Amino acid sequence: MSPLPGYNVEIVSSPPNPGLLSQRGTWFPVGFATNAASDWVYSIDQFNATFGARDPSSVLYDSVQQFFREGGYRAYVNAAALGGTQTDLEDLLPNITDELGPGVISAPGETTVALQLSVAAYADQTSRIAIIDLEDTDVAADLITAAEAVTSQVGDWRCAAFAPWDVIPGVVPGSTRIVPPCGRIAGNLARNDQLGFGADDAAAGAMGVAQWTQGISQPAWTDGDRTNLNGAGVNVTRMIYGVPRTYGFRSLADQTSKPDWSQFASSRTISAVEWELSPIAENFVFSKLDGQGHTIKRWQAALTAPLMGFWESDDLYGSTPQEAFSVGVGPDVNTDATFAAGQLFAKIGLRTSSMAEQVFIMIAKVPVTEALAA
């Protein structure tokens, strides 16, 4: 029998075209859910289908929903069963394998130092970045103490913390929920990627404005408290024109002893560069180490091409590519001895762009009897 004329529209949850989106916007949250599982999620409905309905004892559902509402497009969720322990969450981290690509690792709402250190260390091990949540409190000194527990530990420069927590719409109309900020920050990073911003663009200020989040859980800190929090690497969310806006983008590296690692946007650039260069290195495994420099030339060209892309996106600092990055593959790096040992090296130098943490406008009133200066 012939089918009836007409048409059909079917809505499915499926991954977006990877050619249109940057993989570095992927979020890798670990937490507790009704169903223990590990899977890709592209919508909150798909989360429900895999991990079960929302349970108020866990913030994982709320954080994933906030991630999508704030601009996120895909997450690889790892969940342990409700009622589990911190160790159960730590055991989930190895599920975030290299094959899953770059992105952001978080344990939404988990504020124990041991777990935060595990997340930071695993981010460092896998060349990803991490966003951790601190306690929901208005006591700046407590937040600084919590941040200092991560500072100077493995992966501190790949890690950032934000405060306070967020207020989002509730599951019942007219109600609200309080959730940790990691989902919003990860969502903003993914959103900015889709808008064409570079890896080194901070999801703060005008690029850190909330789309769905309604407010913040604590009253505004004084300027003195914000100065101290910023100095400890705690990034504050403020209400600007009635909308939550991230107003800091520092890493948890020691702001005094490691100032070159203090800006979290630069940490993201380094992570992105690592992921761009890794498959290139893979393609040169078992390449012929010839004496005429043919492989060396191809090696240099292959590494230079993606770095040019980062420079053109203003992620690397310099008026010319030569000022922004260097690719060392010459005889001082690859010697007869290294070739004899079957080794191929490259030394990459990068100058990452900075962000304007303070912006000044100086206005001078000039009498009508005087000319304006050029």
Which pLDDT does position 22 carry in this prediction?
Answer: 54
Angle between helices 182-194 and 60-69 (to 10 degrees): 30
Report CA 11 to chain centroid distance, whole Å.
Answer: 30
Judge whether 234 and 248 are in contact, CB under 8 Å.
yes
- What values do phi and psi take at 102, rounded to 5? -75, 175
Which pLDDT does position 16 carry in this prediction?
Answer: 42
Which pLDDT does position 17 carry in this prediction?
Answer: 41
Q: What pLDDT, in 10s, does the model give residues 246-277?
A: 999 999 999 999 999 999 999 999 999 999 99
Closest CA to 297 of 350, 346, 348, 341: 346
Residue with tokens 């946007």: 265
Positions in the chain whose pLDDT score sits under 70: 1-22, 374
Which pLDDT does position 42 carry in this prediction?
Answer: 97
pTM strictly above 0.75 = yes
Judge whether 213 and 237 are in contact, CB under 8 Å.
no
DSSP 76-135: EEEEEETT--HHHHHTTGGGS-GGG-S-EEE-TT---HHHHHHHHHHHHHTT-EEEEE--
DSSP state, 49?
H
Please name the amino acid found at residue 352. Answer: T
Q: What pLDDT, in 10s, does the model give residues 74-87?
A: 999 999 999 999 99
* 23-265 is classed CATH 1.10.3720.10: no
Which pLDDT does position 23 carry in this prediction?
Answer: 87
Helix %, strand %, coil % for the chain, to 5?
Answer: 35, 20, 45
CB atoms within 10 A of CB 127: 17
Which pLDDT does position 27 carry in this prediction?
Answer: 98
Task: Extract the tokens encoding 335.
Answer: 């010697």
DSSP state, 265?
H
Structural domain spans, the chain: 23-265, 284-350
